[in-house]
Amino acid sequence: MTIDQILLFAVFFAVFALLLWGRFRYDLVAFGALLVAVVLGLVPAEAAFSGFGHHATIIVALVLVVSAGLTRSGAVQLITRTVIDSSRSVSQHVALMGAVGAVLSGFMNNVAALALLMPVDIQTARKAKRPPGSTLMPLSFATILGGMVTLIGTPPNIIIAAIRQEQLGASFRMFDFAPVGGITALAGLAFVTLIGWRLIPRSARESDPTEQLRDTSAFIAELAVPEGSDWIDRKVGDLYDTADEADVSIIGLIRGGSRRYGSARGTALRADDILILEAQADALDAFRSSLGFSYTDADRREVIEGEAQGLALTEVVVPRDARIAGRSAQSVGLHWRQRAVIVGISRQGRRITEHLRRAVIEPGDILLLLSPAETGPQVASWLGCLPLAERGLSVTQESKTWLAIGLFAAAVLLASLGWISLPVGLGLVVVGYVLTGIVPLTELYDQIEWPVVVLLGSMIPLGKALEASGGTELLAGSLVGLTGGLPAWAILTVLMVVTMSLSDVLNNTATTIVAAPVGIEMARALGVSPDPFLMAVAVAASCAFLTPIGHKNNTLILGPGGYRFGDYWRMGLPLEVLVIAVSIPAILLFWPM
């Protein structure tokens, strides 16, 4: 091994170790590794940021905007509105929702597809009086499976097509993944419908964390400032330190029947002012007695009840890249920035009700937010969280539904025929969506998942450096040596198992960037076509079913489904075995060596 190879392997080992640890966000890990590689001379300085202009990165960003356009136009709701029927059996519901999720995931970001369908699934479960845990995991797995069918369905497919373009001179086309991906997805959907959902632990199939979360001991209360109080003429903001010590949240102030939220912090207190608080009973009484405030009387209670009508509870789930992930409500300034408080947290089916403002929020948690009714969606968006209730059709533009579908279908058709490149086609769709107002220009860049863009832009130069140094050839040679004398299907199986195992615990984008060039080098070493190896990597990198950290969709359902870390393998392991058993023959049939 050369010095460059040793250093690059060390960099990649550090990246994978940090991603597995999860202490730092994946985009920061990848960007830091890129800078280290540049400083060490492993990546040329002039090529350091070439990954950000790479067409794979551009396609991923454009697909996210197109997904938002299809949602805002009502195109997705056109499908989902016919889905809710609580009279169906669990198997029928899983089959229908899984099919819809798989189809949507083939043409839009699979995380976006799950985010749209998850509230529908939860609402249907509540109407049927069954816990959502019995159907959310099958839905997540279905959206992951559906992404394998097309070029734009999942980032691994986009990356593999780009690597094929660079190394072999031609990219995969839009539906080149469909024969293998489609057969594998159908087999997987049949499994989760008939058998898979029955393997979910009983604890998840018998409890509803979102309903339990509302039964929290924290509640909304009120205290009045009495005549002669030492706090008269002092600002509400002066109470915050005492409130923090008592674990009480000051939501706002009522004076003369008028509520004050954002401006309350700088408001000077007067006699008979009423403070709106969120607290537990013992904390509230300790706070009241320490300040000399009083409980409100019956007349003032009528004012409070009128005020409470302006408040709303919102259930949201926390993705890995949310603003609040790894932080507390207090550290992000949720109260003073957004006039909202957390009144409940559910983590893997377990309620957390103490020190809510100081609790460090983890990906997969469900938060119960209290905020002014009109700002609930805004608060969820600011936190980077996804609502668990249907968002309704108020933001859709149903008159533009078919326009949005037509523009997207035309771009897909032209790209499939080879008349235009896929990035250009998607770019034209985005321009069309902006010009027609389907996606407002002011919201255009908000639709892009920038951590994924940074991850891709950082990892692509690192992958190229590993290949240029001979590192991928070294890895491929080792795998070929280990599989020497084995038949072609066995070699593909080994590659899939290794790739799938990495994808179960690491980001699938990082796994693909390393595994795809290794697959090409293995094919060269064996003197066969590289396409079967690329297809094997594409399927394996997408199919992360064993853990809640392997794929973002699995993280999103962790809290709402009431699942625990060890629940996923029960359905995920047999599904991964099935995927390998079905995809290997399909690969050898449609992409012979």
Domain ranges within the chain, ordered by starting residue: 3-208+408-590, 226-292, 311-387
What pLDDT shows up at residue 308? 47
What pLDDT shows up at residue 481? 86
Cα 534 from Cα 516, distance rounded (Å): 6
Residue % of the chain over a pLDDT of 90: 33
| 76 vs 567, residue with greater confidence | 567
Residue % of the chain over a pLDDT of 70: 89
- Provide the edge-to-edge strand list for the sheet that holds 249-255: 258-260, 249-255, 274-279, 219-224, 294-295
Do the domains spanning 226-292 and 311-387 agree at the CATH topology level? Answer: yes
Tens digit of pLDDT for each residue in 341-392?
787 788 876 777 556 677 889 888 888 887 877 788 888 889 989 888 765 4
What pLDDT shows up at residue 212? 66
> How would residue 395 be classed by pLDDT, with cut points 50, 70 and 90?
very low
What pLDDT shows up at residue 512? 92
CATH number listed for the domain at residues 311-387: 3.30.70.1450
Instruction: Record the pTM.
Output: 0.77
Tens digit of pLDDT for each residue in 86-139?
678 889 999 999 999 999 899 887 888 888 888 888 888 888 888 888 999 999
What mean pLDDT value characterizes the chain?
84
Rg (CA), the chain: 26
Q: Does residue 214 register a pLDDT over 70?
A: no
What pLDDT shows up at residue 306? 46
Q: Other C-beta atoms within 10 Å of 170: how many?
A: 9
> How would residue 556 be classed by pLDDT, with cut points 50, 70 and 90?
confident
Tens digit of pLDDT for each residue in 223-256?
888 888 889 889 888 888 888 877 788 877 888 7
Tens digit of pLDDT for each residue in 244-294?
877 788 877 888 767 665 546 788 898 888 887 777 666 777 788 888 888
Tens digit of pLDDT for each residue in 452-479?
899 889 999 998 898 889 988 888 888 8
Q: Does residue 21 register a pLDDT over 90?
A: no
Tens digit of pLDDT for each residue in 49-75?
999 988 888 988 898 898 888 877 877
What pLDDT shows up at residue 301? 42
Strand bridging mode 294-295 / 341-347: unpaired
What pLDDT shows up at residue 282? 66
Tell me how far the alpha carbon of residue 560 is from its chain's centroid.
13
As to burial, measured by CB atoms within 10 angstroms (0-12 exposed, 13-18 middle, 19+ buried), residue 45 is exposed
Q: Which two tokens stand for residue 415?
A: 């790209």
**3.40.120.10, 3.30.70.1450, 3.40.190.10, 3.10.20.70: which CATH number matches 226-292?**
3.30.70.1450
CA distances (Å), origin 36, targets 221, 448, 469: 53, 26, 16
| 152 vs 443, residue with greater confidence | 152
Mean pLDDT of 568-590: 95
CA distances (Å), origin 344, targets 209, 286, 519: 11, 21, 47
